[in-house]
Amino acid sequence: MADAAVSNEQLRLFMERIERLDEEKKGISDDIRDVFSEAKSQGYDTKIMRQILKLRKMSNDDRQEMEALLDVYKSALGLA
């Protein structure tokens, strides 16, 4: 029975940690939204900014591969 109490306590602690982290995540998401709003009010295109953020997270090789495939697809569709 003591093992169940320990497991219950451990589970409760995990759940509380997750809840705290979710609150922090929400706060950070709110901060990011505020920065995008500020950038938009200064005339920046936030859709493009989001795309640039995705590109910056990619490795050079992955980015070059994606851009090459994009060029091939655009050419095939007459967009290039």
pTM: 0.73
**What are the structural domain ranges in the chain?**
2-76
Residue 70 tokens, joined: 């994009």
**With contact defined as beta carbons under 8 Å apart, do 20 and 33 qualify?**
no
Given this model, what pLDDT does residue 80 score?
Answer: 79
Q: What is the mean pLDDT of residues 62-73?
A: 97
| Tens digits of residue pLDDT in 9-49 | 999 999 999 999 999 999 999 999 999 999 999 999 999 99
Look up residue 11 and give its amino acid.
L
